[in-house]
Amino acid sequence: MDRIGFIGLGRMGRPMASNLVRKGFPLAAYDINRSAVEELTALGARAANGVAGIAEGSDVVVTMLPSGVEVGETLAGPDGLFAHARPGQLVMDMSTIEPATTDRLAAEAAKRGLAFVDAPVGRLASHADRGESLFMVGAGDADFQRVLPLLQAMGTTIHHCGPVGSGMRTKLVNNFLAIASCQLNAEALALTQRFGLDLEKTLEVIHGTTATNGQLKINWASKVLTGDTAPGFTIDLAHKDLSLILAAAQAEKVALPMGSVARDAFTLARQAGFGGQDFSALLDWFCGLAGATPPRLSR
């Protein structure tokens, strides 16, 4: 069995790494937050002495970090993983970052005899807690088979999207639809309030037509429409992802006018103090703009 090194124990990375430990994978953990590492060692993981310690004691290294800046520094910085790695090791980045950064890091890994996989995560932190994440994987066939047992330990749905880089690009397309739909949903439900419509009856109609969408039917029904705006995926992160999406689209000379409008809305919501709330809380922000009471389900 491969020895696993896990770097990045934030809200998503910590439960993912915990599931690996619980399912018997030998795992070394590292994060700048020592308390997060201690949570993993209490489950049976080993605390690594920095990135160098992860490289020394691991066959497969997983990174789950906030942005491409941290991923680039952790892997390709002067004292990063690549500087300490040995041929035959595999690096699997599960962060959501710029596709160009993924391509650059994969090329650098190949020069050093390292395999590289991108496997960004779908679904929410609550799914990660339960080991029910979805993964979009970019990898060669042999590398995909090598990381498949890890992915199966952390999630329930695994898509091999194609070669390295295709996982990240698939994630951006998925998140574009998921995040931008929040803006449309917020506007529509604010309008229902100003019209004086019954929320339950209106949703019954919407969910019975092609107007429905997963955010409104699944996520919002369990989050903002129940009054729960505790972050599963924050407005700040949604804004970050929209910025990645627009930059990647611009590099491909693809105009995304609806994406630009959605990012502006998320920018304004952040300015109004909603950045740390769940991205479904865009509804509450927009209702405030519209002078409407944020709607809530009665059950």
**Would you name the residues annotated as active-site residues?**
171
CB contact set of 204 (below 8 Å; sequence gap of 6+) = none
Tell me how far apart the alpha carbons of residues 97 and 248 are, in angstroms, rounded to a whole number: 10
The answer to whether residues 14 and 36 touch, using CB atoms and an 8 Å cutoff, is: yes
**Phi-psi domain of 24 (left: phi exceeds 0; alpha: psi -120 through 50; beta: other):** left
The answer to whether residues 4 and 26 touch, using CB atoms and an 8 Å cutoff, is: yes
Amino acid making up residue 111: K
Interstrand relation of 133-138 and 155-162 (parallel, antiparallel or unpaired): parallel
The position carrying tokens 């039917």 is 217
* Most distant pair of Cα atoms in the chain: their distance: 65
Tell me how far apart the alpha carbons of residues 97 and 84 are, in angstroms, rounded to a whole number: 23
The answer to whether residues 105 and 72 touch, using CB atoms and an 8 Å cutoff, is: yes
